[in-house]
A = this chain, B = another copy of it.
Amino acid sequence: MTPTITAFEQSPDRGQGLARDMRVRWALEEVGQPYDVRLVSFAAMKRPAHLALNPFGQIPTWEEGDLVLFESAAIVFHIAQQHAGLLPDEASARSRAIAWMFAALNTVEPPIVERSMVGILERDEPWYAQRLPAVEQRVRHRLAQLSRRLGDAQWLDGAFSAGDLLMATVLLRARPTGLLDGYPNLCAYLARAEARPGYRRAFAAQLAVFNGTQG
């Protein structure tokens, strides 16, 4: 049964791949599974029909027969449970890869999202210039720790996993701020992720939506 995901009708990032449907598209491409996309407007995301799928009024959602899911990482995890290629089979390695999924979302992403939000919501506030350095310092602190752990490795723990997939999408959000530039091994890690055929297909698909050229 082909699942249906939701995505922005008009992505605020103009097709740069920062919207969270990208994570799900990429996971599906990595495991070679087809999917349908239903585009939703910002107005539609706040209506009962969409809130029934996701109580927080966000994209992406997942519909597969009777199963409805929300939260991009939970959908990636569901895909990884159903299809080989995103999580190791061996139990300990699998638990460690899942730890990187949570680390990406709960430890590395929050300061990066905070940095983005400051740029969007507080740019015209009188305290912007004074507050920004502290927010950026919190991002650098996490990036430095991540960089130190990654070292010269290709991926975070052995073969590419759903943990790398999520971490790469988190780092993508940091790149426009320039903060990633101080960590060459993280830039190279991100470039390796972006070079994966599955990433490229997913990126092209979401860009085609923005450009109005999707099938």
Contacts and interface: CB of A to CB of B under 8 A. Distances in A.
Contacts of A125: 127, 130-131
B107 A106 contact: no
Contacts of A69: 95-96, 99
Given A102-B74, A126-B127, A134-B121, A145 B55 contact: yes
Interface residues of A, number: 46
A110 B113 contact: yes
Number of copies: 2
Nearest to A95: B78
Contact of A149 (B55, B58, B81, B149): B55
A146 interface: yes
Contacts of A146: 55-56
Contact of A107 (B68, B71, B99, B148): B71
Given A69-B99, A125-B127, 4 more contacts: A70-B103, A74-B95, A110-B113, A125-B131
